[in-house]
Amino acid sequence: MEIPTKPKTQIDEISHNLSFSTSIAGDPSWDKFPFFRHRSRQITRDTWLVSVFVLLQIVIFAVTMGVNDCSRNSNGHCAAKLLGRFSFQPLSENPMLGPSASTFEHMGGLFWNALVEKHEIWRVLTSPWLHSGLFHLFINLGSLIFVGIYMEQRYGPLRIAVIYFLSGIVGSLFAVLFVRNIPSICSGAAFFGLIGAMLSALARNWNLYTCKISALVIIFIISTVNFLIGFLPYIDNFANIGGFISGFLLGFVLLFTPQLRQDPPPHKGKLFEDDMKSSTRLKEMFDRPVLRIVCLVLFCAIFVGVLIAASWGINLNRHCNWCRYVDCVPTRKWSCSDMTTSCEAMVSDAQLTLTCMANGKFRIFPYTNISQARTQDLCTLVCS
């Protein structure tokens, strides 16, 4: 005896056709869904891309600390000495538990003299993968996991990879326009690109989500925490700004979704129809090719503009005296001034005395057999 199959209803067809279906089985209502959905209701999709990004950055940080080799290059004057070769520079030199300035320069951090005099433009590609220290690594990767997994599950790895890489590059180029003679790293640029893309995705589908204000608050808190970290040494806030703008524009270009074309269930009234029509009109406005083309043109213009400006060695700090404070807060531990440090070195009784030629400050170190790059690190510490 053949069992009759249950005919599909209009609600079933709509739930099947919508890629962002939110109806729960047996629920007669058609509800909006929160921007940050519960894990049990998220789209089941592998997040291998974010996992690769996290693993790469952990490996690169470990390699950076191995190259730094504080126990040998700083004669054991390190933090966490039990780590041996992977111990950190003293907190007075790097409060984020990380390597020295010369190590950042060696590993590909942005540095004015290297970019302008040596024309090492390849640093734009390496600086987004460096971190100032262990604290910076944990905060950056924690934020990347939270935001990146959501974005990859929602939009797939390909589009997220494009936004991540392009935001990192444009953010680094933007940072070159404000770079000083202190090595800076741009690992936050790519992450801020994802934040910008998430914000544009929220704007495009504004009427489809519930708890929109809560989503904005979460995005604001994550962005603020990572931006405040940029005021600490070696972290470049201008890269974060450039990455955010790039990601916001690329989000409108790449993170498009199918338009709403289905009719609402027949038992819903006029109020529901008006609400769906309003959502459809807003979504169609953001799904228009004109908007995507305009955002793509703006992104290309910004990319070409900062690339040309960086190639010409333009330094906007010369035309903006207060811009340095967007990236640095001066304290007694470090300075935001862009001065070339030089010191007079004197060796006596297995001690090294460095005297800053700019302000007359001096400091005695209990070792002498250090490299010239390490001597310059200590000179910058004395003069700041």
Phi, psi of 176 (to 5 degrees): -60, -30
pLDDT score, position 293: 87
pLDDT tens figures, 141-176: 999 998 888 888 888 888 999 999 999 999 999 998
Bridge partners, 347 (sequence order): 352
H or E, element range at 297: helix 289-311
- 235-293: per-residue pLDDT in tens? 889 999 999 999 999 998 888 653 333 434 444 444 434 444 555 555 555 556 778 88
Structural domains in the chain, sorted by start: 43-257+277-327 (1.20.1540.10), 343-383 (no CATH)
Provide the whole-model pTM.
Answer: 0.76
What is the per-residue pLDDT for 27? 41
* Predicted confidence (pLDDT) per residue in 35-90, tens digit: 555 444 444 456 788 999 999 999 999 999 999 888 888 777 788 888 888 889 88
CA distances to 32, 113, 157, 205, 295 from 105, in Å: 50, 10, 32, 43, 35
